[in-house]
Amino acid sequence: MNRRQFIQASGAGLALTATDALALADTRARRVGLIGCGWYGKCDLFRLLQVAPVEVVALCDVDKQMLAEAADLVSQRQKSGKKPRTHGDYREMLKEKDLDIVLVDTPDHWHALPMIAACEAGADVWVQKPISVDVVEGQAMVAAARKHKRVVQVGTQRRSTPHLIEARDRFLKPGLLGTIGLVEICCYYHMRARENPPDSKPPEYLDYEMWTGPAPMRPYNELVHPRRWRAFMEYGNGIMGDMCIHMLDTVRWMLDLGWPRRISSAGGILVDKKSKANITDTQSATFDFDNLQVNWQHRTYGQAPDPKYPWGATFYGDKGTLKVSVNSYDFTPIGRGKAVHGDVVMELDKYPVDRTEKDLERHVAPAIRGHMIDFLKAIEARSKPVADIEQGHISTASCILANLSQRLGRTLTWDPVKQQVVGDAEANKLLRRPYRKPWIHPEV
């Protein structure tokens, strides 16, 4: 299969494989850099290495131990065996201007500035979700991608999850659910930090000043690094910004939806008042798409209503119901007809290293590989990938607006053209978070 045939076949909707990705590759391997070498940074990078003959030439992280470990692992995983150069500041890494692809896998408060800088440096970008911590950041990120003509894929890999693509094509596209008026999305994982450890000095191997960056400076706490920074609103948008964006984006993709017109939310810290975490433990939200309501609920205590679907989406139509999650789907027709169940298909035999890779979500690995292949295809064609930055902005900003609704205690009406809340000056002021000096907030 040559490149032209590859793109034509992909456009026709044929399934993509790792073999296809190899057929797509240039004779010169694309040069890759990773910003953020923690849990998901390595997970994303190693999936890219599995499907394309890229050369990882640069890594960046503010944690020297994490950076050194990643460099060693990359040298073991990539074909050349070379160890990438390492940086503690993404600006130094990008100054070389020798990268074709940059992966941004930092904590949420560090997504916007590196992504924009990578576009300015001439790289195509993979950026993790949520793309931003405020709405104006997201607007600036979309503008940067378009100005510099960069392909930007957002890590909302549900759009590339094989069993979810199957569920969409088999049940939603043919209209087997009939008219859908309601979708319920939820997360009932007990994922909110419950501890209350004392503040302390940051470890010597961590540049905590740089780690904090444009976010408000808090005293260092062991909850912050690594991975548990999601306990604090200073660095993200709580479970709404972490988990709701995935399911809202899934619904938008499966039903081909744009912006919600009205967003409302309520909740707070209602149960666990002892933890140092300042994100909500209970929150609901409604995303109103006029003829369709998408309702979110998260709760970090108690049991899930359906133990098989503690994090997922349920589509309700007048002819049937469809439940989907990262692990499975279930279609139940009304009246005659058989119920249909489908499970995630892991590729452990094809990619045996998945069995032993530390902290890998094995059921998600095939989706990330598919997402990387879609990214490479878009780079080759200079087209928009399935999770283009604008789609990531819509899903991210919608969740941020839900948090603002919960904070303000009122429904927000969104104007997708003006990118503002209608008739609400107070809400519009909150679309941009203050940046800590000397960092400068990006503008459109």
Where do the structural domains in the chain lie, given as residue ranges? 3-158+365-388, 160-351+393-429
Question: Which 3-state string (H, E, C) describes 57-122?
Answer: EEEECCEHHHHHHHHHHHHHHCCCCCCCEEECCHHHHHHCCCCCEEEECCCHHHCHHHHHHHHHCC
Mean pLDDT, 10 residues at a time, the chain of 444 residues = 37 44 59 97 98 97 98 97 98 96 98 98 98 98 98 98 98 98 98 94 98 97 93 98 98 98 98 96 98 98 97 98 98 95 96 95 97 98 98 98 98 98 98 98 95
User: How far, in Å, are 125, 279, 398 from residue 144 at the CA level?
Assistant: 11, 30, 20
Gap between the Cα atoms of 245 and 394, Å rounded: 10
3-class SS shares of the chain: helix, strand, coil, % to 5: 35, 20, 45
Gap between the Cα atoms of 87 and 90, Å rounded: 7
Q: Is-same-fold flag (3-158+365-388; 160-351+393-429)?
A: no
* CATH of range 3-158+365-388; options 3.30.590.10, 3.40.50.720, 1.10.150.120, 3.30.390.50: 3.40.50.720
Residue showing tokens 């599995």: 50
- Identify the pLDDT of residue 27: 44
Nearest CA to 394 out of 203, 250, 198, 223 is that of 250
Distance of CA 218 to the CA centre of its chain: 25
Nearest CA to 42 out of 365, 293, 391 is that of 365
> Domain 160-351+393-429 belongs to what topology?
Dihydrodipicolinate Reductase; domain 2 (3.30.360)
Gap between the Cα atoms of 86 and 64, Å rounded: 9
Q: What is the dihedral of CA 379, 385, 389, 395, to 10 degrees?
A: -160
- Identify the pLDDT of residue 231: 96
What does 200-242 look like in DSSP terms, one character per residue?
-PPPTTB-HHHHHTTSPP----TTTTTTGGGG-TTTS-HHIII
At residue 295, the 3 state secondary structure works out as strand
Query: Full-prediction pTM beyond 0.85?
Result: yes
Gap between the Cα atoms of 246 and 259, Å rounded: 15
31, containing H or E segment: strand 31-35
Residue count (the chain): 444
Nearest CA to 324 out of 130, 129, 126, 177 is that of 177
- Identify the pLDDT of residue 20: 55
Helices H / strands E in the chain, number of each: 14, 16
Distance of CA 164 to the CA centre of its chain: 16
Edge-to-edge, what's the strand order for the sheet holding 31-35? 85-87, 55-60, 31-35, 101-104, 124-127, 152-154
Q: Which are the contacts of 99, defined by CB distance < 8 A and separation ≥ 6?
A: 31, 32, 33, 57, 58, 93, 118, 121, 123
Residue showing tokens 């978070």: 433
* Strand pairing report for 262-268 and 180-187: unpaired
- Identify the pLDDT of residue 336: 86
Gap between the Cα atoms of 291 and 180, Å rounded: 9
